[in-house]
Amino acid sequence: MSWLTLGELIHTTLVFATAIIFASLGGVFSEKSGVTNLGLEGLMVFGAFAAGVGGFYAEQAGLGGTSAAWVGVLSAAVFGILVSLIHAVASITFKADQVISGIVINFLAAGSTLYMVKLLFEGDGDTGRIQGFSEISIPYLVDIPIAGKAFFQAYPTTYLAILLVIIGYFTLYKTPFGLRLRSVGEHPGAADTVGIKVNRLRYIGVMISGALAGIGGATITLTTTNMFSHNTVSGQGYIAIAAMIFGKWNPLGAFGAAVFFGFSQAIRNYVQLFAWSQSIPQEIIFMLPYLLTIIVLVAAVGRSRAPAALGQLYDPSKR
Residues engaged in binding another protein (CB under 8 A): 86, 89-90, 93-97, 99-101, 103-108, 110-112, 114-115, 118-119, 231, 234-235, 238-239, 241-242, 245-246, 281, 283-284, 286-287, 290-291, 293-294, 297-298, 302-304, 306
The residue among 170 and 286 lying less far from another protein, judged by its C-beta, is: 286
Helices (H), 121-197: 147-151, 156-174, 176-186, 188-193
The residue among 8 and 97 lying less far from another protein, judged by its C-beta, is: 97
User: At closest approach, how far in Å is the CB of 291 from another protein?
Assistant: 6
Residues 88 and 39: their CA atoms lie apart, in Å, by 11
Rg over CA atoms, the chain: 20
CA dihedral 100, 227, 127, 23 (to 10 degrees): 20
Q: What are phi and psi of 108, to 5 degrees?
A: -60, -40
The residue among 74 and 96 lying less far from another protein, judged by its C-beta, is: 96
Residues 40 and 212: their CA atoms lie apart, in Å, by 9
User: At closest approach, how far in Å is the CB of 173 from another protein?
Assistant: 22
The residue among 190 and 296 lying less far from another protein, judged by its C-beta, is: 296
The residue among 199 and 234 lying less far from another protein, judged by its C-beta, is: 234
User: At closest approach, how far in Å is the CB of 96 from another protein?
Assistant: 4
Contact 206/87 with Cβ under 8 angstroms? yes
The residue among 68 and 254 lying less far from another protein, judged by its C-beta, is: 254
Contact 10/151 with Cβ under 8 angstroms? yes
User: At closest approach, how far in Å is the CB of 269 from another protein?
Assistant: 16
User: At closest approach, how far in Å is the CB of 94 from another protein?
Assistant: 4
Query: Dmax of the chain from CA atoms?
Result: 66
CA distances from 158 to 44, 86, 161, 197, 226 (A): 16, 28, 5, 34, 16
Contact 273/255 with Cβ under 8 angstroms? no
User: At closest approach, how far in Å is the CB of 141 from another protein?
Assistant: 36
